[in-house]
């Protein structure tokens, strides 16, 4: 099916009419379909002359909004004056005029018989506290429509990401009844409403000109809507993937996966999910449209219990970073591509060896020292053990090292003991603590003196790209493997689980290198 026709609108929150004219030109230049003139944001404004000039010179269709304080806008004058300005916008032939539901009847009386056919009236309702039930949303939409709106606009607030699913249901119902509707949910937990409305058939979505020029909380930039999430290409059949985390706003995964999907022509979009309760999230977004998920902090452990089936090593590690909805029966299957990514990167770091070419792992029989016993430590320890390595765990909290060593059949050391530990040369070292991570770039988990016994040194930390540990290991003659390699490979593993296709390795490497 063809992508839907959701319009992309850039709001102008400029302070002067001159700046607003500039914003209109910029909105047209980035490819917006509509520009919203937020008259309430203008600090000085001569209605007739300014509005006439702005509308006469508009380079693209214009939506005129004059939002009062009582509906979350900036205008705090009297309503009669405000509605007169909106009437003027109708007379001047604005493409769209937005009026609030609470005063819509009054406004309709004011413009009675004067609205040209080509001016579309948007009747809007904003809820800055919460998102009502599906029934309440439906009743509200019906009331707005019965007043004679050309387009219904309902904007609510997300206190939990599951709130957005009710807005999607409203949009789908409105589509069935052929009622054009703008349905958006504000704040960070509502971001998917802005990204996925083309899939469900929303009439319009907003994207700001730049960061700092948003007209509502949670709005993202138009450039991200078009270039990262490619909303123009999203349609009813587009599969939805995304990263579940808290926080999640900083994640580079949407850039990486969306560009990778695009490069192979896979009809999918990858979005950020700010999730508080994993189980409730997965129960809410349980349709086949939501085809797969990446999981990051703090949900990797909970993901094990939320899946219907879990890959045995992911289960042993106690962490799932990838969930796929099996198309045949809709069951959620959990995997851990972190350990595959890290272990294959380390195997490739061993001189003269290529993972793809060998039947037996070069880790078999080698001494493999893991520093750290947290999530990444467990993944590395299990992965190395599964490859036949002799695993040693050293951790700040010795008890946790002991616990993990007992679980996998390895040995535990304190960090102090590790300094003088060298039963053999040519050992492999994996740092899985955050020691050395930005901004503490001068810290290192093991002295340079001790590093000379290691043939390969891996660091899970990837900010900075080259940590002090890796720099000193290289100076000591070891082969070094960066945490970025783990990051790239875990993402490639996810891509292959998501799409069933070979990951575009060089593209994914380029994107990660460019963004770090």
Q: Which positions lie near ligand NAP, rule CB under 6 A? A: 338, 372-377, 395-397, 400, 432-435, 437, 460-462, 483, 486-487, 490
Nearer to ligand NAP, 72 or 318 (CB): 318
Q: Are 6 and 181 in contact (CB under 8 A)?
A: no
Query: Of the candidates 224, 145, 151, which has an alpha carbon nearest to the alpha carbon of residue 182?
Result: 151
SS3 percent helix, strand, coil of the chain, rounded to 5, is 40, 20, 35
Minimal distance in Å, beta carbon 252 to ligand NAP? 11
Residues 6+ apart with CB under 8 A from 429: 369, 371, 446, 451, 454, 456, 457, 458, 473, 478
Residue 253 CB-density burial (10 A; 0-12 exposed, 13-18 middle, 19+ buried): buried
- Is the CB of 119 or the CB of 342 nearer to ligand NAP? 342
Q: Output 39 or 380, the one with its CB closest to ligand NAP.
A: 380
d(CA 442, CA 249): 27
Cα–Cα distance, 34 to 95 (Å, whole number): 9
Assess contact for 86 and 124: CB atoms under 8 A: no
In the complex, the smallest distance separating the C-beta of residue 272 from ligand NAP, rounded to whole angstroms, is: 17
Q: Rounded to the nearest 5 degrees, what angle is found at the Cα of 275, between the Cα atoms of 270 and 279?
A: 105
Least Å from the CB of residue 489 to ligand NAP: 8
Nearest residue (CB) to ligand NAP, 158 versus 435: 435
The rounded distance, in Å, linking the Cα atoms of 352 and 479 is 11
Active site annotation includes 299: no
HSE (side-chain half, CA atoms, 13 Å) at 13: 16
Report, in Å, the least distance between residue 396 CB and ligand NAP.
3
Smallest gap from Cβ 466 to ligand NAP, in A, equals 13
| Concatenated DSSP letters of 65-93 | E--BGGGTSSB-S-HHHHHHHHHHHHHTT
Distance of alpha carbon 214 from alpha carbon 190, whole angstroms:
15
Q: Which residues share a beta bridge with 334?
A: 310, 323
Which of 120, 187, 300, 453 is the catalytic position?
Answer: 300
Q: How many CB atoms lie within 10 A of CB 217?
A: 13
126 an active-site residue?
yes
Task: Report, in Å, the least distance between residue 2 CB and ligand NAP.
Answer: 38
Catalytic residue among 120, 153, 199, 385: 153
Closest by CA position to 375, among listed 459, 463, 301: 301
Instruction: For 345, list phi and psi in degrees, rounded to 5.
Output: -65, -40
* Active-site annotation holder among 23, 40, 50, 126: 126
Nearer Cβ to ligand NAP (207/464): 464
Is the CB of 272 or the CB of 377 nearer to ligand NAP? 377
Q: Over the Cα atoms of the chain, what is R_g?
A: 28
Q: Which residue is nearest to ligand NAP (CB)?
A: 374
Catalytic residue chosen out of the listed positions 338, 385, 387, 459: 338
Distance CA 206, CA 13 (A): 13
Structure tokens at 360: 């037996």
- Cβ nearer to ligand NAP, comparing 4 with 432: 432
* 213 is annotated as an active-site residue: no
The nearer residue to ligand NAP, 153 or 402, going by C-beta atoms, is 402
Q: Determine the length of the chain.
A: 516
Those residues whose C-beta lies under 8 Å from the C-beta of residue 305, and which sit 6 or more positions away, are: 279
Nearest alpha-carbon partner for 342 in 256, 457, 252, 438: 457
Written as six digits, the tokens of 293 are: 């998920």
Question: How far apart are the C-alpha atoms of 275 and 296, rounded to whole Å?
Answer: 10
397 vs 406 by CB, closer to ligand NAP? 397
Cβ burial of 81 (10 Å; 0-12, 13-18, 19+) is exposed
Distance from the Cα of residue 232 to its chain's centroid: 18
What's the closest the beta carbon of residue 321 comes to ligand NAP, in angstroms?
8
Q: Which residue has the tokens 């530990």?
A: 421
Rounded to a whole number of angstroms, the minimum distance from the CB of residue 271 to ligand NAP is: 20
In the complex, the smallest distance separating the C-beta of residue 380 from ligand NAP, rounded to whole angstroms, is 9
Tell me whether residue 300 is one of the annotated catalytic residues: yes
Residue among 400 and 452 whose Cβ is closer to ligand NAP: 400
Q: Rounded to the nearest whole angstrom, what is the least distance from the CB of residue 334 to ligand NAP in the complex?
A: 16
Annotated catalytic sites, by residue?
A: 126, 153, 300, 338
């Amino acid at each position: 099916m063809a992508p839907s026709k959701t319009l992309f609108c850039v709001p102008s929150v400029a302070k002067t009419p001159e700046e607003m004219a500039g914003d209109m030109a910029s909105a047209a230049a980035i490819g917006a379909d509509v520009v919203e003139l937020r008259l309430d944001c203008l600090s000085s404004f001569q209605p007739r002359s300014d509005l006439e000039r702005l509308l006469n010179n508009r380079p693209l269709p214009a939506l005129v909004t004059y939002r009062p304080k009582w509906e979350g806008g900036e205008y705090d004058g009297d309503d009669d004056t405000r509605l007169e300005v909106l009437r003027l916008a109708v007379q001047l032939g604005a493409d769209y005029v937005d009026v609030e539901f609470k005063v819509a009847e009054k406004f309709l009386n004011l413009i009675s018989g004067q609205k040209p056919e080509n001016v579309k009236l948007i009747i809007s309702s904003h809820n800055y506290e919460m998102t009502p039930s599906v029934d309440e949303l439906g009743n509200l939409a019906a009331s707005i429509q019965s007043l004679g709106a050309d387009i219904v606009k309902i904007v609510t607030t997300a206190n939990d990401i599951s709130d957005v699913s009710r807005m999607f249901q409203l949009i789908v119902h409105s589509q069935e009844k052929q009622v054009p509707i703008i349905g958006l949910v504000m704040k960070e937990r509502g971001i998917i409403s802005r990204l996925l409305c083309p899939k469900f058939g929303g009439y319009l979505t907003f994207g700001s000109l730049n960061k700092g020029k948003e007209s509502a909380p949670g709005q993202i930039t138009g450039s991200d809507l078009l270039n990262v999430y490619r909303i123009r290409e999203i349609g009813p059949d587009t599969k939805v993937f995304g990263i579940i985390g808290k926080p999640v706003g900083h994640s580079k995964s949407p850039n990486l996966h969306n560009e990778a999907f695009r490069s192979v022509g896979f009809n999918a979009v990858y979005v950020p999910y700010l999730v508080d309760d994993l189980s409730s999230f997965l129960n809410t977004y349980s349709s086949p449209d939501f085809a797969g998920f990446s999981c990051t902090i703090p949900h990797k452990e909970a993901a094990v219990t939320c899946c219907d089936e879990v890959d045995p090593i992911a289960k042993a590690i106690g962490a799932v970073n990838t969930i796929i909805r099996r198309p045949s029966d809709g069951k959620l299957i959990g995997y851990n591509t972190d350990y595959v990514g890290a272990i294959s990167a380390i195997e490739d770091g061993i001189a003269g060896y290529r993972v793809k070419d060998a039947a037996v792992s070069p880790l078999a029989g080698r001494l493999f020292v893991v520093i750290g016993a947290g999530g990444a430590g467990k993944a590395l320890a299990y992965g190395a053990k599964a490859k036949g390595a002799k695993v040693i765990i050293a951790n700040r909290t010795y008890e946790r090292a002991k616990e993990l060593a007992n679980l996998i059949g390895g040995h535990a050391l304190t960090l102090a003991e590790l300094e003088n530990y060298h039963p053999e040369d040519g050992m492999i070292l994996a740092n899985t603590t955050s020691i050395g991570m930005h901004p503490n770039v001068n810290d290192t988990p093991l002295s340079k003196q001790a590093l000379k016994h290691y043939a390969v040194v891996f660091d899970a930390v990837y900010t900075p790209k080259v940590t002090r540990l890796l720099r000193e290991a290289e100076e000591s003659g070891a082969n070094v493997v960066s945490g970025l390699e783990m990051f790239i490979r875990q993402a490639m593993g996810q891509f292959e689980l998501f799409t069933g296709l070979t990951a575009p390795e060089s593209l994914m490497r380029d994107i990660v290198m460019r963004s770090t």
